[in-house]
Every structure is written in C-alpha cells, then in structure tokens.
Structure 1
Amino acid sequence: MTFLNQLTELAPAELAARLDEFAVSARDDRDGSGYLDAQRALYLLSVARWQPAWESIVPSADETDVVVASLRLSRSWHQAETDRVLGAMELPSIGEFGEWLDDRCRAHASGPQHPLFDFLENQATEEQLREFVFQETPFDVHFGDLVAALIPGVYGAAKLELAHNFWDEMGNGDIARTHRQLRLDMMSAVGIDTDAHVSGLDRFWVEELELANMYLGSSTDRTLMAQGLGMLLATEHVVPGRIDRQIKGWLRVGYGLEQLEYLTEHVTVDVAHAAGWLNEVIKPTLAAHPECLPDIVAGVERRLAGSLRVCDVALKTLTSVA
C-alpha cells in the first residue's frame, strides 16, 4: 500500500493524531524512520491544499483538525531547522547583505562546482539523468504556485517583481510555454510520468521532499514568508550554472535542445530574476523591516544546505548503480 493510500484511509481525527506523532519525529529524530513519513505527509497535504476540494488527493486535507495538526507539524519542523542553521552562524549586517549573498552563493558547495554536476555533464547515462529529473519534480512542478502564493499583501516594486517572475512562469501569456507545461513536456520527452509528483511519492529521496517542503511551507505560512523570500533569492542565484551542466549531459546522450526547453529557459531568465529579486524585493524589505534579516538569512542558508544534501545523496545514489 502506498503512503498516500495509507493517509487517505484515515479518518480526520486519526490523521490529525498521526500528524502530531510525525511532528515529534520531524523536530527530534531526523535520522529515524518517522522522519521520512513526516516529510511525505507534509508534502502530500501541501499539494492537496493547492488543489480545488473536488480534485484533492487527500479529501480530509481541509478538515479543521487536519489543518491545525498539519500546521503544528510544519511549524515544528521549520522551527527546528531554523534554529539549527542560525545557531551556527554570525549574521551579516543589512548593509553587507548583498555582498554576503554573492559570496555565499558563489562559494557554496551545492553550486555547479559540486561533483554531481560534473558527473551529470560528462558521465551519467540517460537513465541516471532521467532519475535526477524525476527526483527534482516535487519542487519544480509547483514553482509557479509558490511565487503566486507570495504575492498577496506585498505591494509597490516588490509586487511588480513578484508579478514579473510569475508572468515568466506563465510563459508570458503563452499556455504552451508556461514553465509547468515546459516541465511536463520535458518529462514526457525523457520518459517520466507527468503525474510523478504524486504517483512517484514513495520513490522520492527524503532530501528532495525536504527541499520541496521548505518552499511549500514558507510560501503559504505568512509567519515564514521572509524565509521564503530568502529561499527564492538563493534559488535564482545558484540555479543557472547548475542547469547549464545538466543540459550538456542531456545533449551528450542524444537529446536535442527542443526537448530541453524547460532547462534552457531557466539558464537565462533566472539570471535576470536574481538581480530583480535582490534589488526590488529583498533590499526594500530589509530597509523597511530590518527585523526580517534573520529569517531572510535563514531562508538562504536553509536553501543552500538543503540543496547540498540533495546533491550529496544524488551523487551517492546515482553512482552506486553506474
């Protein structure tokens, strides 16, 4: 029985009780078996709430007890992770933030210099490249919704930047070129089911679910919004170089650029978004609300650390079956 089936068979009160059990594992037992179930539950319930009630993959996701328990689970995990990253670092000043960000992202071990990307570019088989794309699905297919969820309540230049980012996600009005559709088209071209973000749940590495849950939680829980801004800022800074190396790997095994438009689109558009996000969203937010600095930094740090965990497990797993 799949984890999704297990979850949907529970009555709302039973599901809420299970989520409270998962909250303990998410906070206190990162290496325990309950931690993976906690991440799977967080992810499924977040996805279920993106959907209209009549299409929800977890029919009880919007029941009051389940909503409250899932919020407790989410906040328990996010707080533990925030304490972990902030407890080990010295914060930059607001004036130093831009320079700190550039240095941090450029030098971080999760960047395109990670051995994973050398492997994907020069050695990986088609099947290994396919598995990496599959594993990145939980985050990638929801990116447009993540951006959209941040827009309410933000105004001025920041709202325009968010809207511009979202409009790019929407293919600038061309349905066929929306980034989600380009992602689904690429998945079809390389042999991945287009419903893999749900049907493939039990195959996803816990590190990939963590990464998706960072964004799903911080984009919808307004108490975590500043972290969400930091996460997206880091994403726009580090993604282009990593994607360029993946493209070279796919070309090496015989695919053409027309099948890789999702990837080629992000090599250029994310560079522009990185500058806009910093100058139009982050800096004005810090100027008006300096108290947001710790959470924005935590978002950057959590994104980089989470990405490094993905890179490490990807290299270890993919090369073990080489």
Structure 2
Amino acid sequence: MPEDWNNRLAAGPLAAVRALESCTAGEWGRLTGNYTFRGGLAAACRTLTERAYGGNDRTALAEVHQLLALIYDQDFSGVEIAEVDHERQPLLRDVAAILEQAMLGHELSRIDEETVTGYPRSGPEYVRWLKDLVNAHPAGWHPLYHEHIAQRGTPEDLRLLLAQETNLDPRFDDILASMQMGRTGGEKMEIAANYWDEMGNGDAELVHTRLFSQALEAIGADRDFIRDSFMLEAGVSGNLSACLGLARRHYYKAVGYFGVTEYLAPRRFRCVVDTWRELGLHEVGITYHDLHIGIDAGHASGWFKNVVAPLVGGDALIGRDIALGALIRLNTSQDYLDELLRRMRGRSPVAVGAEA
C-alpha cells in the first residue's frame, strides 16, 4: 500500500475517506482492488467504533457519525457528469457496514428483549399495543415540546430546534421513495401516498422540502448556524434514519421507526405552530409545520392500518422488528430532545460540532 495512504489511515478513517473525495476514477478503481488498503481501512473503522461504543469516547463517536453522514450525503446526492465513472460503492459500503453494525448494535443493546417479544399476533391488536408503547415512552410527550416550547419558547429556541430537524426533514421524501422498492399492494400504495403528499401533490411550490427551507430561512437558521449548532445527538438520529430507510434488510425496523415519527409529529408540531404564532413570526415560515399537523395524523393512521397491521397479520414474527425500530426511534429521540432541552435552558451552550 502506498505510504501516503498509510499516513492517511493513521489519521483515522474519516481523514482517509475525505481524502478519497479527490481521487480520480482510476484511483478509485485501483484502491478498490487493493485489499491491503481495504483491510487497513476496515481495521481503522473497527478501532474507531470500539473507542466510540466500547470505550465511551465521545470524540470517537462524533467521528463515527461525521463519517456516516458524509457517506449518506453521497447516497442522497445527484452525480456530476464528470464523476459517472467514479465507482465509490465498494469502499464506502465497506466503511458504512462496519459503522452501521456498531451503531445499530449499540441501539439494540439498549432495548429489553421482553419489550419487543410479548406483543399481540393479530394486526389490529398489535397496532393498539404499539401505540401504547409509544405513548408510555418518555419521548412520547417530551417536555421540550409540551412544556418548554409550548410555555416559554423563544425565537432562538425555535431556530435551534429547526437546525436539528435538518437531520431528517430535508430528505424524508427520498427515504419514502426508497422504502417503496420491493413492496406491493396496499402497503406500497400507502407509502406512495405519503410520498406524494411530501411532493406537494404535484405542486412544486408545496413540496415539503421547499416549505421546510422556507421555515429555516424565516427563523434565520442559515448554513453557518446549522453547522455551528448541530448536535451529535441529532446527527445520530439522522444517520439512523438514513441507515434504516436505505437498507432493504432493515425495512421492517424502518416501518416501526418512521411510524413513530409520523405518529408523534402532529402533537409536537402543534406546540411549534402555536408558539411561532404567539411570537408573531412570519407566517410563511410555519406553513410546513402547520400542514403536517393534519397530514401526519392521516399518515400515521394509514401507516398503522395499511402497513403495520397487514405486515404483522401476514407474519407475526415481523412484529419484533417493527417494535425494535419504534424503540430505536423513541430512545434516540429522547436522547436528542433531552440534550436540546438542556441547551435551551442554558445548561450546555457549546455545540458538539464545535467540540468535534
């Protein structure tokens, strides 16, 4: 392996992958075929995840999620014509697979197995059980929304909140598009209907990513603010969303994960909308959240009725994976909202991004 790549690997896998971005198509091909390099990169990733999750090293954890975010940014981006011959996938999937295994392993270790096995076996009963599970979790009615934002939220609080929400909202439509692959019947139609709503039902002015961008602009959350205030906990949530949404084998977990997302959005967004208007902020900025109060209530109902219930009714074993996904979403949502609430209360003013 060339000495310069040895040095880059010594600096860590994030530095190595960043260096790969400047490679030519030929260099990508040579490195893909260089199994000494690929083995070194894999070993560096395993060392990093061991520090992050085995050694509780927060700096290493930040690097894990910066690296995953870099890979997912490529997964969700278009390609430049000059780079159509750049075959990045073998190397980047090597890296992502190791990091994702560690990330998901950690999240699954937090879940009590009894919680995800004692569920009803019929679809409708399972849905009721799953909703009870969500509502009983601390993230189901988190004080960040239902106390702090609702009772004493400021424009600065809303700006900080929306900056963190960039972890999912700007790419949720693409995740829904990905989740439709391989699905059929009413299940696929429900996800497709959800996707079409995200697309503004064909009106480019009402595409939800556009409306979310308007919200960011209205509250003053520009690129610099988002970069400087973005929390590690928000990054974890965003990376899990991408991981579960893109991988075919994690589809059932994604059903639970995004079912919780849709189910909780209306009650959370109501707090945001009411405070936004009480503060007299520009109305155009709250269109996104206002629309989702009603839309996501319908999405959640349809998701449970037409996706969750038929899946469990068809094969009760799927219920475990759906519940795992739901609890991953609830646990990481609690992590991120707990930290965000601390910051809003002035307990932790330094952004993780700045620390890393």
Normalized against structure 1, the TM-score is what? 0.88
Hey, what does 2:67 align to over in structure 1? Answer: 41
Confirm or deny: 8 A CA contact 1:116 1:315 kept in the other structure: no
Hey, what does 2:332 align to over in structure 1? Answer: 306
User: Using a 3 Å threshold, how does the CA distance of structure 1 residues 29 and 230 change in structure 2: closer, same or farther?
Assistant: farther
CA RMSD of aligned residues (A): 2.8
Confirm or deny: 8 A CA contact 2:218 2:284 kept in the other structure: no
Q: How does 1:5-44 map to 2 (within 5 A)?
A: 7-10=17-20, 13=37, 18-44=44-70
Q: How does 1:127-146 map to 2 (within 5 A)?
A: 127-146=156-175
User: Using a 3 Å threshold, how does the CA distance of structure 1 residues 122 and 113 change in structure 2: closer, same or farther?
Assistant: same
Confirm or deny: 8 A CA contact 1:16 1:70 kept in the other structure: no
TM-fit CA distance, 1:62: 2.2
2:124 is the alignment partner of 1:98: no
Question: Which of 247, 252, 271 is equivalent to 2:278?
Answer: 252
How many angstroms apart in 2 are the aligned matches of 1:222 and 1:302?
17
Hey, what does 1:263 align to over in structure 2? Answer: 289
Hey, what does 1:284 align to over in structure 2? Answer: 310
**CA displacement 1:75-95 (0-9 Å, x = unmatched):** 232133123314363521223
**CA displacement 1:223-275 (0-9 Å, x = unmatched):** 11110010011111111111110112212222143321011011000001111
Aligned pairs, number: 316
TM-fit CA distance, 1:147: 0.8
Question: Which of 149, 152, 175 is equivalent to 1:123?
Answer: 152
Structure number with bigger Rg: 2
How many angstroms apart in 1 are the aligned matches of 2:15 and 2:218?
29
Confirm or deny: 8 A CA contact 2:52 2:58 kept in the other structure: no
Q: How does 1:1-322 map to 2 (within 5 A)?
A: 7-10=17-20, 13=37, 18-54=44-80, 62-87=88-113, 89-91=115-117, 92-95=119-122, 96-193=125-222, 195=223, 200-201=226-227, 203-320=229-346
User: Using a 3 Å threshold, how does the CA distance of structure 1 residues 78 and 122 change in structure 2: closer, same or farther?
Assistant: same
How many angstroms apart in 1 are the aligned matches of 2:161 and 2:60?
25
* Equivalent position SS for 1:154: coil
Confirm or deny: 8 A CA contact 1:16 1:66 kept in the other structure: no
TM-fit CA distance, 1:170: 0.3
How many angstroms apart in 1 are the aligned matches of 2:75 and 2:309?
31
Confirm or deny: 8 A CA contact 1:158 1:280 kept in the other structure: yes
How many angstroms apart in 2 are the aligned matches of 1:79 and 1:26?
12
Hey, what does 2:4 align to over in structure 1? Answer: none
Farther off after superposition, 90-99 or 181-190: 90-99
Which amino acid is 2:121 matched to?
I
> Unaligned stretches of 5+ in structure 1?
none
User: Using a 3 Å threshold, how does the CA distance of structure 1 residues 278 and 90 change in structure 2: closer, same or farther?
Assistant: closer
Which amino acid is 1:136 matched to?
E
Confirm or deny: 8 A CA contact 1:186 1:259 kept in the other structure: yes
Confirm or deny: 8 A CA contact 2:167 2:238 kept in the other structure: yes
TM-fit CA distance, 1:279: 1.1
**CA displacement 1:189-222 (0-9 Å, x = unmatched):** 11122x57xx945642111111111110011111
